[in-house]
A and B are shown apart, each in its own frame.
Chain A
C-alpha cells in the first residue's frame, strides 16, 4: 500500500525513467500511446456521442480480459444489457468473460427521489474496490462519469469528490479509464476541466462530418511523463473494434525495394531503367483519357501472367467496365479475374467514409495477400471528404503497402498546362518512387500522346520523351522525331519521316549516278591510256627504224669517206650532214 501511494504521488522522478504502462490491445492505439495507458493512473477519453468512447472503454477491458487481466466496467449512461449488446456487435462475448470472472459490467444508476444534504461517492469506490479484489481486476472503466457528477450542485464538491476518487483508485493500484463528453464552456460543466487536470493521459475522440462524409479523429492531448504521437490520427469502428493507423512509427518499418518487375511495355521498362521495383509506389499521371488505366492494366496483365496476385481498386469505373475497356486494346484481364489472380474492388468514394474504406481495403489486402495493387485513381480519393481526408487515406495506405512490400500502381488525373505541378497528388509525393507522365501534345490539328519518366527513385532512367501509342493490338512506345521545332509525334512525325525517306532516296540515286559516272570515266581513262600506249609504241618503232636508217647512212658515209680517201669516188661530201636533221625531229614529237 505504501509503495503504491508513493508511486501515485511522485511526479515521475527522472525524465528517463520510463513510466509503467498498461497495454490497451486496441489496434494502433498502443503505438500512439507508446505502450498503453499509464499503469495505476487515471486516463481520460473525451468524445461526443457516436465517437466510440464507450466502445474504446469496452475494448480496453475486453482485450485485457482476453490477455488475462480482468476488468470492471462501470457505466453511467447505458444499461448493462446495452453494453453487452454493443460488445456483441464486435463479436465480443462479455457474458462468457463475466462467467469466468474476468469482466464485470454494472450500470451506475442514481435514482434518488430526494437529495437532502451532502454525500460522498464512497460506496461506488467500495464497490469497485471490493469487486476488483474479488476478481483480481486492475482495469477500471468509468463510462460517462460526467453524468454521475451532474447530481452535485456545485463545482467545488465535484472537484473534492473527484480528487478522492482518483486517489483511492490509484492507491488500489488500478489503471482507470474515464470517459466523458467533450468540455462545454458552461458553469454547469466546469468540473470537466478538473477531469482533465487530474488525468495523467488525455485522449480526445472526435466524430465529424466533412463534406458529407463521416470522419473520425483521435488525438492524444496530454500524457504526463511519456512521449506520444501528437498528430491527429484517423480511426474507425469496425466489426472488430476500434482500429487506428498511426503513421510515424510504421514509416520506420518500410522494406527495401525488391527485384524489378516489367511494366508490361518493353520500351517503358527501358525508360525506367529496367521496370518498376517490387514494393515501390509508382504514379501514372496524366490528363483524362491519356491511357493511364490501360497502362496500369497492361502491368496487371503482365504481373498475372507471372502468377503474381494483383488487387485492383477502382474508384472510376466498375470492374466490368475496366475489363471491357481494356479488352478493346488487347489487354485481357478477364482471364486473370476468373482464375482468381486478380481481385477487384470498385467503390464510389462518396458511399463511405475514408477511414471505413481504408480499413476495408487493408482487411481485404491482408486476406488476399497480393504482390501488387492498382489504385485508379488518386484524384477520386479526394471525394472521400476533401484534401485532408485524401492525404490521410493515401499516406496510411502507402505506408501499409510499403510495409508489406506490395507494389502500388497509382493513377492520377491531372488537367491543364500546369499538370506537371499537379502530379504529385495529395501531397504524398515523398512516398512516391516513380512518376510516369502521359500527356497530350497538339500539333497540326491532331492530338497525340507522349510519355515521360519524371522521377524514378533508385535507378537511372531516361529523361526523354517518347510517343505513347494505343492501338487495338495494345500499347507501344516509339521514338519521337526531334527536329528544329521540337518533339514531333503522330502524323507530323510520319510526314517528317516520309520527307526524310525521300531525301535519303534522292541521295542514294545521286550516289548511283555518280558511281556510274566514275566507272565510265575510269573506263575512258583506261581507253585513252591504251591509245596513247599504242601511239608511243608506233613512235618508238618509227624512231627505231629511223635510227637504223641513220646508222646505215653513217656507215655508208664512212665507207664513202674511206673510198674517197682512197680516191675511188670523185663526188662532193655534203649529203650526210643534211640527213642528220630528221632523226632529231622524230624524237621531239615522241
Chain B
C-alpha cells in the first residue's frame, strides 16, 4: 500500500472503481450502498464506479480474478487496489483507496 501512497494524484484524477457483487445477497447490498455513499460524499465527480454482478457476468470475474464477493477494485492505480468484504468501515475503505479524509 505504501507504493500506492506514492502515486501522485491531483484534482484531475478519476477513481476507476469496479464493484463485483453476487446478485443482491446481503453483503453485496451492503457494499454497494457503502461505496455509492462514499463516492458521492468523498469523490463527487472524480470517480467512475462500475457494478458487476458475477452471477450475470462470470467472465469479468474470471478476467479480474475475482473469487469472492463483494470485491472492490480500484483499477486506476498500478497495481490495482483490491478490497474484499461488505465495506462496512468507510474510514478503512478510504484509507485503503488512498483517499484522504475531508480535511484535506
A residues engaging B (CB < 8 A)?
106, 108-124, 126-127, 129-131, 148, 151
Task: Scan residues 55-74 of chain B and give those whose CB is less than 8 A from a CB of chain A.
Answer: 55, 58-59, 61-62, 65-71
Assuming the contacts A113-B96, A114-B96, asked whether A123 and B61 have C-beta atoms less than 8 A apart, the reply is: yes
The distance from the CB of B32 to the nearest CB of chain A, in whole angstroms, is 12
Q: Is the CB of A116 within 8 A of B83?
A: yes
Q: Mark B25-67, 1 if CB is under 8 A from A, else 0.
A: 1010011000000000000000000000011001101100111
Instruction: Say yes or no for B16: interface residue by CB 8 A criterion.
Output: no
Other A-B contacts than A119-B71, A120-B69, 16 sampled, CB-CB below 8 A, are: A106-B62, A110-B84, A112-B83, A113-B83, A114-B83, A115-B84, A116-B86, A116-B88, A117-B88, A119-B86, A122-B22, A123-B58, A126-B58, A130-B59, A131-B62, A148-B67
Distance in angstroms between the alpha carbons of A115 and B86 in the assembled complex: 9
Q: List 9 A-B contacts (CB under 8 A).
A: A114-B93, A116-B86, A116-B87, A117-B27, A118-B85, A123-B54, A123-B69, A127-B62, A127-B67
Chain A residues, CB < 8 A from B1: 113
Q: Is the CB of A109 within 8 A of B55?
A: no
Distance in angstroms between the alpha carbons of A123 and B84 in the assembled complex: 12
Distance in angstroms between the alpha carbons of A120 and B61 in the assembled complex: 14
Chain B residues, CB < 8 A from A114: 82-85, 92-93, 96
Instruction: Say yes or no for B15: interface residue by CB 8 A criterion.
Output: no
Chain B residues, CB < 8 A from A151: 68, 84
Q: Is the CB of B61 within 8 A of A112?
A: no
The residue from A112, A117, A129, A148 contacting B31, defined by CB atoms under 8 A apart: A117
Chain B residues, CB < 8 A from A110: 67-68, 84
Q: Is the CB of B86 within 8 A of A118?
A: yes
Chain B residues, CB < 8 A from A108: 65, 67
The residue from A113, A117, A123, A131 contacting B20, defined by CB atoms under 8 A apart: A123
B residues engaging A (CB < 8 A)?
1, 20, 22-23, 25, 27, 30-31, 54-55, 58-59, 61-62, 65-71, 81-89, 92-93, 96
The residue from B27, B59, B93, B96 contacting A120, defined by CB atoms under 8 A apart: B27
The distance from the CB of A413 to the nearest CB of chain B, in whole angstroms, is 59
Q: Is the CB of A113 within 8 A of B81?
A: yes
Query: Which residue of B has the minimal Cβ distance to A124?
Result: B67
Distance in angstroms between the alpha carbons of A257 and B83 in the assembled complex: 71
In order of increasing CB-CB distance, the 10 nearest A-B pairs are A130-B58, A117-B86, A117-B85, A122-B22, A123-B54, A116-B85, A114-B96, A124-B67, A123-B61, A117-B88
Query: Which residue of A has the minimal Cβ distance to B64?
Result: A123
Distance in angstroms between the alpha carbons of A110 and B73 in the assembled complex: 12
Distance in angstroms between the alpha carbons of A117 and B96 in the assembled complex: 14
Distance in angstroms between the alpha carbons of A108 and B96 in the assembled complex: 23
Assuming the contacts A113-B96, A129-B58, asked whether A124 and B86 have C-beta atoms less than 8 A apart, the reply is: no
Chain A residues, CB < 8 A from B71: 112, 119, 123
Chain B residues, CB < 8 A from A119: 27, 68-71, 84-86
Distance in angstroms between the alpha carbons of A410 and B30 in the assembled complex: 74
Q: Is the CB of B82 within 8 A of A113?
A: yes
Query: Which residue of A has the minimal Cβ distance to B84?
Result: A112
Give the interface centre of A108, A121, A130, A148 by most chain B CB atoms within 10 Å. A130
Distance in angstroms between the alpha carbons of A388 and B89 in the assembled complex: 59
Distance in angstroms between the alpha carbons of A108 and B61 in the assembled complex: 11
The distance from the CB of A106 to the nearest CB of chain B, in whole angstroms, is 7
Q: Is the CB of B62 within 8 A of A117?
A: no
The residue from B61, B85, B92, B93 contacting A126, defined by CB atoms under 8 A apart: B61
Chain A residues, CB < 8 A from B69: 119-120, 122-123
Distance in angstroms between the alpha carbons of A106 and B24 in the assembled complex: 26
The distance from the CB of A484 to the nearest CB of chain B, in whole angstroms, is 90
Chain B residues, CB < 8 A from A129: 58
Chain B residues, CB < 8 A from A148: 67
The distance from the CB of A76 to the nearest CB of chain B, in whole angstroms, is 9
Q: Is the CB of B83 within 8 A of A120?
A: no
Query: Which residue of B has the minimal Cβ distance to A104?
Result: B62
Chain A residues, CB < 8 A from B66: 123
Chain B residues, CB < 8 A from A120: 22, 25, 27, 68-69
The distance from the CB of B10 to the nearest CB of chain A, in whole angstroms, is 23
The distance from the CB of A316 to the nearest CB of chain B, in whole angstroms, is 57
Distance in angstroms between the alpha carbons of A194 and B1 in the assembled complex: 35
